[in-house]
Structure formats: structure tokens, C-alpha cells
């Protein structure tokens, strides 16, 4: 079932949810999950991390306790994105653009004629390099040893989690997974060995300077190491180099793997339907000519935004989203009276919902500009409000690729911007 989960979830959605309106139970990542119909989205929206936890769920699914300990019990990773990245896009976009150009020069180079490249591997490396500029900082993002060890770690994390789901460990999974994760821990340790000295030096500098000096504020590095130090300074457990190094690597995995897959799928779709190249290219050229390499330029690319959302509708990173673990010791009661005990896991069949012909017209066909047309034809709101309703980073009951409610992916705005930055050079060339 590991490699056919999409098919089984679709059957559950069609034969159970659509016919009875009720949930169904299925194994996912080797664990039992209660798959909920869309009507329970209202419960996800109003529940906080103390009731339903995404971080605990992902730690269980990938057996991350066996390698990273309890770092997923902390909110620091999420807060770095919310309060560090999401509040600084105006300053970060030029840095990301510069790193993106450097990544293309390293991974593709100046090619005088047609040359073959493995799309997935090449684009994943470009996205990893680009993402590293903000999540790892200028001291590490072009360090080949860091890039290699962090990529090996990211791949190892997924493979290790996948292999553990295929073993019939039952109630002994948590204990035995530590034994089977020995190779993944080795890969993690190699990456930490590169990151740790940089974080240690930054922490020492952080402790020496006057945090309120105007000069320091002016020169403050724009990267996740700095924001981790800022946000954890009153928490002795989190404010140490080892913890911040682990958080950095896991955030880098989350921030580069899925966006890399998104851009790869965008390229494949453009190759399948090349009539999208000219309008996307014209929009990107106009945006950069008008606004320069700025966040405003990226925000003005409504066709590209629609294309990204349609990719996520039909080919999301995962067919299942909104995975949560019940944390409240008293369990949780849903709006219709359904009750789940502490420790139970829930999820939603996102792909099945987004491909439902009752949700979208002609749902089985790819329409790259579906959402830009919906935005343009949505009265009486302003264009800006309509674009926000149908935007790629907007979560709704019909756009679940990034989750939903308070638990929606905090990095979705960052991911969409990176997808636009990385895809723009390709559509401006010949692919």
C-alpha cells in the first residue's frame, strides 16, 4: 500500500466519504489514520497545536525522534518562518534571485547548444542552493561540503522514514526505529559537523554585541540562524548551537524538497503543453521590466501564480494533507459529536477533494490559468481581493496542498515566491 496510497485514498473518498459522508481508517506511513471528509475542516481551523499537532505527527510519521530527538516539540522552526522569513520578503527576494542565478550557473552553466539534464535532480539542486541562502546564510550556502552533506541528509530523512513504514514493527516501532536509523543518524551528524561551527561562531557574536545598537540592527544578517538566535534567546533549551543546527537542517529539508518537486512538475507540464510558455514568459518579462527584481514583481505574476496553484491542485507534493495527532489528554470532540482519543491521527484526502468534479468544473483537465480566470470573474471584490482568494498560497477548502487553518504550512508564501524565481529563467530560455 505504501506506493499505491493515492489509489486507495481515492477509493475511500469515492466509496465511503461521497456515499456515506463518513470518515474511514487506513494505514499511512505505517500508522493508522482517520481520514476525514471536508466538513471537518471547520474543526481543524479552530484547533490549536495543543489540541491537534502537525509537528508531532510528522515526527511520528518519519520516526524523527530516532535521529533528532524532541526538536519537533518546539515551535522555533515555525516561528523562524513566520516571524523571520514572512516579514522580510522585500529584502529577501533580491538575495534569493542572486542565489538562484548562481545556482543556475553552477548546475547548468553557460550552455551554447542543446544539452540534456535530469530535470528532477538538477532542479532539486537549484532549489536547495537557493533555499540555503536564507535558511543557512551566506557563510554556508555556497560551501560545497555543506550543500553535499545537507542534501544527503534530506534524502536520507525521507528514505529512512519510508523504509521504517515498510517494516511490521507494530507497538515496538518507536524503540526499534532508533536501531534502524543508524545510517540516517550518521548522515545527520555529518551535516551537523559542517553547520555547528558556523552557528557556534554566530552565537558567540550574538552574545557579545549590544542587541539594541542601531549599527547592529543595520548589519544584522538576513538568515535563519540570526532569527533562530533572536527568537530563542529567552529559552535556554533552544538557545544553543546543537539545537539550532538541527532545526536549520530540518527546516532546509522542508523548505527545499517540496518546492523542488513543484518546479519540476511545472517544467514537465510546460513541456507537455508548450502553449503556456509565451504568456508566462511575457508576464515574467513585463513584471521584472516594470518592478525590477522585487517582491512586487513576483506578486504581479498572476498567470504564473494560477499555474502554480493548478499544479498543486492536480499534482500536489502529497495526495494527503492536514495530518495531525490528537494531543489533548482528554481527546477531542468534533462539531458533530465525533470523538477521538489522545494519540489518534487524522488526515484529509486533499488530492481526491481537489479532483472532485463537484468541486471544480472539468476537474480532470489541466487548466493553467483556471484560477486567474476565476479571480478576474469574481465580483464584486477588488482585483487584489480576488487574487488573494484564488492565489497559490491561499489556503481554502478547495486548495489544501499547503494544509488548512492554523496548521497550514507557514512557508507557503516563501515556496511560491521561490517557484516563480526558479521557473522564470527556464521559461525565458529554451527547454
CA distance linking residue 416 with residue 295, whole number of Å: 11
Cα separations (Å) of 387 from 50, 290, 371, 382, 409?
A: 33, 19, 8, 9, 19
Which candidate, 363, 392, 359, places its Cα nearest to that of 375? 392
CA distance linking residue 351 with residue 344, whole number of Å: 22
Beta bridge partners of 332: 340
Which residues, at least 6 apart from 86, have a Cβ–Cβ distance to it below 8 Å?
410, 413, 414
Q: How many helices (H) and strands (E) does the chain have?
A: 21, 7
Burial class from Cβ neighbours inside 10 Å (0-12, 13-18, 19+) for residue 79 reads middle
27: part of which helix (H) or strand (E)?
strand 24-28
Q: Which residue has the cell 540592527?
A: 217
Q: Helix 182-208 vs helix 144-165: angle between axes, to the nearest 10 degrees? A: 130
CA distance linking residue 127 with residue 104, whole number of Å: 10
CA distance linking residue 121 with residue 327, whole number of Å: 38
Which residues, at least 6 apart from 303, have a Cβ–Cβ distance to it below 8 Å?
279, 280, 283, 368, 369, 372
CA distance linking residue 57 with residue 127, whole number of Å: 26
CA distance linking residue 66 with residue 76, whole number of Å: 20
Q: Return the DSSP state at 396.
A: B
CA distance linking residue 83 with residue 89, whole number of Å: 11
- Binding-site residues for heme sit at 409
Beta bridge partners of 32: 27
For the record, the C-alpha cell of 416 comes out as 511560491
- Binding-site residues sit at 409
CA distance linking residue 144 with residue 129, whole number of Å: 10
Amino acid at each position: 500500500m505504501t506506493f499505491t496510497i493515492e489509489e486507495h485514498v481515492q477509493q475511500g473518498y469515492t466509496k465511503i466519504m461521497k456515499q456515506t459522508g463518513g470518515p474511514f481508517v487506513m494505514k499511512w506511513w505505517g500508522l493508522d489514520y482517520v481520514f476525514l471528509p471536508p466538513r471537518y475542516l471547520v474543526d481543524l481551523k479552530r484547533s490549536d497545536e495543543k489540541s491537534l499537532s502537525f509537528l508531532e505527527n510528522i515526527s511520528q510519521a518519519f520516526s524523527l525522534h530516532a535521529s533528532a530527538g524532541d526538536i519537533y516539540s518546539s515551535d522555533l522552526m515555525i516561528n523562524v518562518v513566520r516571524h523571520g522569513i514572512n516579514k522580510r520578503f522585500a529584502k529577501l527576494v533580491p538575495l534569493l534571485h542572486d542565489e538562484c542565478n548562481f545556482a543556475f550557473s553552477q548546475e547548468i552553466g553557460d550552455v551554447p547548444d542543446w544539452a540534456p539534464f535530469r530535470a528532477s535532480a538538477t532542479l532539486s539542486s537549484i532549489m536547495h542552493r537557493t533555499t540555503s541562502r536564507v535558511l543557512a546564510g551566506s557563510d554556508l550556502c555556497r560551501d560545497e561540503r555543506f550543500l553535499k552533506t545537507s542534501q544527503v541528509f534530506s534524502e536520507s530523512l525521507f528514505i529512512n522514514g519510508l523504509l521504517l513504514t515498510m517494516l511490521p514493527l507494530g507497538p515496538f516501532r518507536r524503540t526499534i526505529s532508533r536501531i534502524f536509523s543508524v545510517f540516517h543518524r550518521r548522515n545527520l551528524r555529518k551535516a551537523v559537523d559542517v553547520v555547528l561551527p558556523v552557528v557556534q561562531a554566530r552565537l558567540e557574536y550574538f552574545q557579545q554585541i549590544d542587541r539594541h545598537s542601531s549599527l547592529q540592527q543595520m548589519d544584522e544578517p538576513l538568515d535563519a540562524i540570526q532569527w533562530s538566535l533572536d527568537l530563542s534567546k529567552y529559552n535556554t533549551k533552544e538557545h544553543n548551537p546543537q539545537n539550532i543546527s538541527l532545526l536549520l537542517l530540518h527546516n532546509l529539508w522542508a523548505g527545499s524538497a517540496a518546492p523542488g518537486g513543484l518546479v519540476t512538475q511545472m517544467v514537465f507540464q510546460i513541456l507537455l503543453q508548450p502553449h503556456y510558455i509565451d504568456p508566462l514568459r511575457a508576464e515574467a518579462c513585463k513584471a521584472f521590466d516594470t518592478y525590477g527584481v522585487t517582491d512586487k514583481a513576483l506578486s504581479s505574476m498572476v498567470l504564473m501564480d494560477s499555474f502554480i496553484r493548478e499544479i498543486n491542485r492536480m499534482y500536489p507534493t502529497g495526495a494527503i494533507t492536514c495530518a495531525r495527532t490528537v494531543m489533548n489528554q482528554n481527546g477531542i470532540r468534533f462539531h458533530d459529536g465525533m470523538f477521538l482519543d489522545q494519540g489518534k491521527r487524522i488526515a484529509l484526502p486533499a488530492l481526491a477533494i481537489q479532483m472532485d468534479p463537484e468541486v471544480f468544473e472539468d476537474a480532470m483537465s489541466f487548466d493553467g490559468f483556471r484560477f486567474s480566470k476565476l479571480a478576474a470573474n469574481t465580483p464584486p471584490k477588488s482585483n487584489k481581493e480576488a487574487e488573494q482568494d484564488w492565489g497559490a498560497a491561499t489556503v481554502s477548502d478547495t486548495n489544501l496542498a499547503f494544509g488548512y487553518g492554523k496548521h497550514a504550512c507557514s512557508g507557503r508564501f516563501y515556496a511560491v515566491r521561490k517557484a516563480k524565481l526558479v521557473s522564470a529563467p527556464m521559461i525565458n530560455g529554451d527547454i
